[in-house]
Structure 1
Amino acid sequence: MTALRFRRSAGAALLLAGLLAATGCDRAPDGSVSRLPTPADPAADAAPAEAFERTWLGVLPCADCDGIQTRLQLRADPDGARYVLEETYLGGSGENRFVQEGDWREEGAVIQGQPAEVYRLDPDGPGRWFWVQPDGALEMLEAEGRPAVDGLAFRLQRI
């Protein structure tokens, strides 16, 4: 092997090592959600393999009301994954019930340094993230994808 060929091989190996190292650095030290590497086909991550319908219910904190009664229903079938989110602001006056519908996706993430499963509503926009808990509950994540300080207050129980 000539010196030039050796240098080219070594340069290619260093470049490959750098790329591999860069893709493994998704963990954020602040505990925020970092996406795991996505598959080559984004449609493969769009919906769970089996068809299902699940519902969660709870009262989430509210800055200027008594709480937000929240009902989240996720549906998935071969035609896609859809959600219905119903929110009722408690103790307020005027229009207090809002219904939102759209697409959702199940995604892998890293939360607090650990692999996690999250459901993301409206994945092509800013969306909302819900972290799947071991007991089947969902914990709503903050806008930056971090768990809330009082995570129990932001949980929806599966019904």
Structure 2
Amino acid sequence: MRLKVLASAGALAALTALAGCASSPQTPYGKVAGDYAGVLPCADCSGISTQLQMRNDDDIAGTYELRSVREGKSDQVLVTRGNFLVLENAGPQQLPLVYQLKGADGNTIYNLRPLDDGNLVVLDNEMRTSQSGADMTLKRR
């Protein structure tokens, strides 16, 4: 009887070790993967309705699809697709992590700082938070 218990404990330990190998630590690309939405401020419209889908294609790359509509101006959906980079110690404040959306021609579309609650905040070109007081948050759905 005691031998069976030891064999079962050994099998359990082996399965636990294998499960640990299968679930490697999640990369920053995997952590951000998901859908986000929000209404960002607009200078000449009532807001930019924004939907962002970020995908983790593998553990070293990410792609996105951004859908934007200028509320009160047009019903046309502007779709932008591209890759995103993970920047560490970014900008003058040395932000620990920033996701940078790149357009097809390599231009920066948005710099996004992840928040503890899983949402993303849009930063300016210098990777600073907006001083206008406007809500620049894309909420995870």
Residues 61 and 85 in structure 2, CA contact (< 8 A), matched pair in contact too: no
Q: Which residue of 2 aligns with 1:89?
A: 70
Structure 1 unpaired stretches of 5+: 1-46
Residues 92 and 127 in structure 2, CA contact (< 8 A), matched pair in contact too: no
2:35 is aligned with 1:55: yes
Residues 82 and 104 in structure 1, CA contact (< 8 A), matched pair in contact too: yes
Corresponding residue SS for 2:129: coil
2:99 is aligned with 1:119: yes
CA spacing shift, 1:73–1:151, aligned 2, 3 Å:
farther
Corresponding residue SS for 2:117: coil
2:140 is aligned with 1:158: yes
2:115 is aligned with 1:140: no
Percent identity over paired residues: 31
Residues 109 and 115 in structure 1, CA contact (< 8 A), matched pair in contact too: yes
Structure 2 unpaired stretches of 5+: 1-26
Q: How does 1:9-20 map to 2 (within 5 A)?
A: none
Give the TM-score of the pair, scaled to structure 2: 0.67
Distance 1:66 1:103 in 2: 28
Q: Which residue of 2 aligns with 1:76?
A: 56
Q: What amino acid is the match of 2:52?
A: L
Which one scores higher on RCO, CA 8 angstroms, separation ≥ 6?
1
- C-alpha RMSD of the superposition: 2.6
Q: Which residue of 1 aligns with 2:110?
A: 128
Residues 100 and 108 in structure 2, CA contact (< 8 A), matched pair in contact too: no
